[in-house]
Chain A
Amino acid sequence: MASMNTVLFISFLLFSVGVAGVLIRRNALVILMCVELMLNAANLNLIAFARHAGTVAGQAFALLVMGLAAAEVAIGLALVVALYRKRDTIQVDNINLLKG
C-alpha cells in the first residue's frame, strides 16, 4: 500500500500543475482542463484520507466531486462555445469585458 506521504506528494504535484496551468495559459479550454486536474488531486486526497481513517465516506465524497466536475464541464464548454460564437476567439486575453 502506498504511504500517506506519497499520496499527498503526488496530489500536491498534480494540484500545482493545475494551478500553474490556470494562471499561465491563455486558451480557455486548457484552463478548464487544468481545473479538472485540481479536482482530481482533491479526489486522490479524499480517497487516501478515507483509507487512513478506515471509513468509506471519502470515496462517496469523491463520487460527488466527479458528478460536480461533469456538471462544471458541461457549463464551461457551453460557455466556451457561446463565447466563440460571439467573439470569434477563446483566448482569455481577448475576453475582458462582461458586456459582450
Chain B
Amino acid sequence: MEHLMTSIGSHLFLVFGLLAVAGAVSLVFSKNAVHSVVGFLFSMLSVAACYLCLSAEFLAVAQLLVYAGGIVVLFLFVVMLVELTKYKESGLFQRQTAWAVAAVTVGAVAFITVFWKTVFGPSATVALTLDAGLAQGLDVATQNSQAVSRGMFAGYLLPFEILSVILLVALVGAVTLAKKERV
C-alpha cells in the first residue's frame, strides 16, 4: 500500500509538471497576449499542484495567492491597458530566432549530459526533519506552515526584513514610473 501511494504521488507530480510545461509552451507560442496570460495562469496553477505533491502545502497556497491571485491579474490589467492589436501583424518572434533556438538547444544538451551523469537517490521519505529546537512540539508532517515560519523567522529573519524593504522600494518606484508627467 505504501509503495502504491508512493508510485501514485510520483506519477501525479509528473502529470502536473508536464501540464505546467504545456502551459508555458502555450504562453510562448500564442499570438494573442490574453491567451499568453491564460497559459501563464495554467502553468502557475500546475506548479502549485506540484508543490502539493512535494508536500509543501504552505508554498502551494502562497503560490495560488501570489501568482494566480496577484501577478496574473496585474498582467491581464496591463495587457488590457496597452493596445496590442495594432502590432499583431508585425511578427511574433525576433529576427534572430534561429540563433536563439540553437543556443537554447546547446544549453539543453549540455544540461542533459550533466543530468544523466549525476544520480540523485530517491527523495527523503520523511517530510521535514528540522533542528531539534525548531521542531519542538510540532508535527512536521501536518503542520507545514508552522514549520516553514519557524525555519524562516528563526534562521532567515534578516533576509525577510530586507525583502520587505525591497518591496517598499519597488512600490515607490512603480508609482514614480507610472505617474503622469506634469506639464
Which residues of chain A have a CB within 8 Å of any CB of chain B? 1-10, 12-14, 16-21, 23-27, 29-30, 32-34, 36-37, 40, 43-44, 47-48, 51-57, 59-64, 66-75, 77-82, 84-85, 89-93
Contacts and interface: CB of A to CB of B under 8 A. Distances in A.
Interface string B73-94: 0110011011010010011111
Nearest to A66: B66
B104 A37 contact: no
A61 B8 CA distance: 28
Contact of B78 (A2, A23, A80): A80
Majority secondary structure of chain B interface residues (helix, strand, loop or mixed) = helix
Given A4-B123, A8-B120, A34-B27, A63 B14 contact: no
Residue of A25, A72, A92 with highest tally of chain B CB at under 10 A = A25
A66 B90 CA distance: 34
Majority secondary structure of chain A interface residues (helix, strand, loop or mixed) = helix
Interface string B45-65: 001001101111011001100
Contacts, number: 253
Given A27-B33, A36-B40, A60 B155 contact: yes
Contacts of B79: 29
B159 A48 contact: no
A91 B90 contact: yes
A12 B120 CA distance: 15
B166 A30 contact: no
Contacts of B40: 33, 36-37
Contacts of A44: 47, 50-51
B141 interface: no
A54 B170 contact: no
Contacts of B113: none
B151 A37 contact: no
Contacts of A61: 156
Contacts of A1: 6, 9-10, 53-55, 122-123, 125
Given A23-B97, A29-B75, A60-B151, 6 more contacts: A12-B115, A14-B20, A21-B28, A52-B123, A54-B128, A78-B177
A51 B55 CA distance: 9
Contacts of B44: 40
Given A30-B27, A47-B56, A6 B17 contact: yes
Contact of B122 (A3, A9, A18, A74): A3
A71 to B, nearest CB: 4
Contact of A25 (B70, B75, B93, B156): B93
A6 B155 contact: no
Interface in B151-175: 151-152, 155-156, 159-160, 163, 166-167, 169-171, 173-175
